[in-house]
């Protein structure tokens, strides 16, 4: 699996390279700069681009903007964004095209090596990965939560973290059928009718954000 790492901090960039290489990934390129980055991501066509949000020259949102632009040029291009802090607007922008193969993790999560490696693999496979702390801040919208029961809100949080129905059932110590019923109920309350769109879970999170 070919990985592009875009990170301006040398120690973190080298650490990510060594970590991913040790787990069998092929880090084909590293990049420390945000200027013109979108074109370089598209040209590299990696299986996953691991991109820091804040990069030179301005250290604001170069990485995020480059990731969004690259995915507009190549829909579904897998991108895993790393950030030092929770950036609500950045997370919304990243998920706006609803095509999957995206992740948003806080940099602290890199220290949890197996979870980070699993996140890279899930994004490469077309999944959506959200840091639990990011999810907690994104869905903490009291007005949007009013219509959900406590159990439905918990299921939504676990869905947004990328857990399968079976994993949610195990976490909550309930049956998978109960999880299915809770998911169908919260989808209905959020105005998400049945469809073949497998990213409806992401749409549920976005529905919360739309009620800000």
Kindly provide the residue ranges of all beta strands, DSSP E only, lying in the chain, ordered along the sequence.
2-6, 26-31, 48-52, 79-83, 102-106, 128-130
- Do 29 and 108 sit in the same domain of this protein? yes
Phi/psi of residue 192, nearest 5 degrees: -115, 95
Q: How many CA atoms lie within 13 A of 128 on its CB side?
A: 25
- Do 18 and 107 sit in the same domain of this protein? yes
**How many domains in the chain?**
2
Instruction: State residue 94's pLDDT score.
Output: 74
Domain limit, last residue, from 98, 131, 164:
131
- Do 122 and 150 sit in the same domain of this protein? no
98: left (phi over 0), alpha (psi -120 to 50) or beta: left
Q: Are 156 and 149 in contact (CB under 8 A)?
A: no
- Do 121 and 16 sit in the same domain of this protein? yes
- Do 119 and 166 sit in the same domain of this protein? no
Assign residue 72 the CATH number of its domain: 3.40.50.2300
> Does residue 68 or residue 27 have the better pLDDT?
27
Range of 57's domain? Answer: 2-131
Phi/psi of residue 84, nearest 5 degrees: -75, -30
Range among 23-32, 53-62, 153-162, 193-202 rated most confident: 23-32
Domain limit, last residue, from 111, 131, 151:
131
- Do 76 and 126 sit in the same domain of this protein? yes
Could you tell me the pLDDT band of residue 65, with boundaries at 50, 70 and 90? confident
Instruction: State residue 39's pLDDT score.
Output: 96
- Do 189 and 125 sit in the same domain of this protein? no
Integer CA distances (angstroms), 18 to 53, 67, 110, 118, in order:
21, 23, 12, 16
Segment 134-151 shows an average pLDDT of 66
β-strand 2-6 against 48-52: which pairing, if any?
parallel
Residue 43 has pLDDT above 90, yes or no: yes
Residue 189 has pLDDT above 70, yes or no: yes
> Does residue 95 or residue 78 have the better pLDDT?
78
Could you tell me the pLDDT band of residue 212, with boundaries at 50, 70 and 90? very low
Domain limit, last residue, from 78, 97, 131:
131
């Amino acid at each position: 699996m070919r990985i592009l790492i875009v990170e301006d901090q040398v120690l973190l960039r080298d650490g990510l390279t060594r970590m991913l290489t040790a787990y069998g990934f092929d880090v084909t390129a590293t990049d420390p700069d945000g200027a013109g980055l979108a074109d370089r991501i598209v040209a590299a066509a990696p299986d996953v681009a691991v991109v820091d949000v804040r990069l030179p020259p301005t250290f604001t949102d170069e990485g995020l903007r480059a990731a969004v632009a690259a995915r507009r040029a190549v829909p579904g291009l897998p991108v895993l964004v790393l950030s030092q802090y929770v950036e609500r607007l950045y997370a919304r922008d990243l998920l706006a095209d609803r095509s999957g193969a995206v992740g948003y993790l806080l940099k602290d999560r890199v220290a949890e090596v197996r979870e980070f490696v699993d996140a890279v693999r899930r994004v490469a496979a077309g999944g959506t990965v959200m840091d639990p702390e990011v999810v907690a801040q994104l869905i903490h919208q009291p007005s949007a939560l009013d219509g959900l029961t406590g159990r439905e809100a918990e299921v939504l949080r676990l869905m947004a973290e990328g857990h399968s129905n079976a994993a949610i059932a195990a976490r909550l110590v309930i049956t998978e059928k109960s999880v299915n019923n809770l998911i169908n109920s919260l989808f209905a309350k959020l105005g998400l009718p049945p469809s073949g769109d497998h990213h409806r879970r992401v749409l549920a999170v976005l529905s919360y954000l739309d009620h800000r």
